[in-house]
Amino acid sequence: MKLGIETAGSGDALVFLHGWALNSRVWDGIAPVLMRDFTVVRIDLPGHGASPWPPEFADLTSLAAVLAPALPEHCTLVGWSLGGVAAMALALTLRERIGRLVLVGSTPRFLRSEDWPHGLAGPVVERFAALLEADYEATVREFLGLQVKDDEHARSTLRELRMKLVAGGAPRLEALRAGLSVLRNADLRERLPQLAVPTLVMAGENDRMTPPGAARALAAAIPGARLELLARAGHAPFLSHAGEFCRILGEFLGRAARATGS
């Protein structure tokens, strides 16, 4: 299957995976900065943006299997939200190809439970599932609104998310169903200690989609992971706090490169 992929820049490969309902256009603001030092590869998830819909995408394992052939032989993988869950799954199965991992607004488990207080409440997720079937566009609008809640730049960030959704193209309903299934069912907590690559976990202090507690727990469970919480940022810090995001990312990549000899 040929996914929608955009590649630009030069240097080591830096691969970006976006979140649920969005597309690779969300990285437009930071890509030009990173292209100075890296080959920036932006991939549309199956059924999102320019990528076609494969009926074999039904869960996290099949999502990772669809994405795997699109990755360069050696890369740093940056995943946001749902893309972060996919990035973790890929890093667990393609260890020889992923040299560094950056997880943004991500979590090993989206759904709250008795032993995981850092997720979305079950009724919230079920409401999204029901609304998705009744009113596709309203679901996406509400989801985008939740992503910017309590961000100090909420209005401009929401406007940017809406613009990128239009610019990259609306996702397929089937893809949204499959992605929501991943968000409801994926649980990578027990496998996190097996992530044997330098990892940066970044999250907004005011994130209401994946609370800071999830980022802290995620970083604590991955051996040697570095945690960065961006003050007053919500779920999309690369949009609302782009300068700080790029500074932290560049610093991590420089340190990781020296540490690994790449």
Check if the beta carbon of residue 191 is closer than 8 Å to that of residue 92. yes
Q: Is 235 one of the annotated active-site residues of the chain?
A: yes
Q: How many residues does the chain have?
A: 262
3-state secondary structure the chain: CCCCEEEEECCEEEEEECCCCCCHHHHCCCHHHHCCCEEEEEECCCCCCCCCCCCCCCCHHHHHHHHHHHCCCCEEEEEECHHHHHHHHHHHHCCCCEEEEEEECCCCCCECECCECCCECHHHHHHHHHHHHHCHHHHHHHHHHHHHCCCCCHHHHHHHHHHHHHHHCCCCHHHHHHHHHHHHHCCCHHHHHHCCCCEEEEEECCCCCCCHHHHHHHHHHCCCCEEEEECCCCCCHHHHCHHHHHHHHHHHHHHHHHHHCC
Token readout for 188 is 């990578």
Of 118, 207, 240, 241, which residue is the catalytic one? 207
115 is catalytic: no
Question: Catalytic one among 81, 118, 240, 241?
Answer: 81
Which residue do the tokens 């032989």 mark? Answer: 73
Task: Check if 150 is active-site.
Answer: no
Which residues have C-beta within 8 Å of that of residue 171, sequence separation ≥ 6?
Answer: 21, 22, 23, 47, 48, 49, 140
Catalytic residue among 18, 153, 235, 241: 235
- What is the rounded CA–CA span in Å between residue 235 and residue 153? 11
Which residues belong to the active site? 81, 207, 235
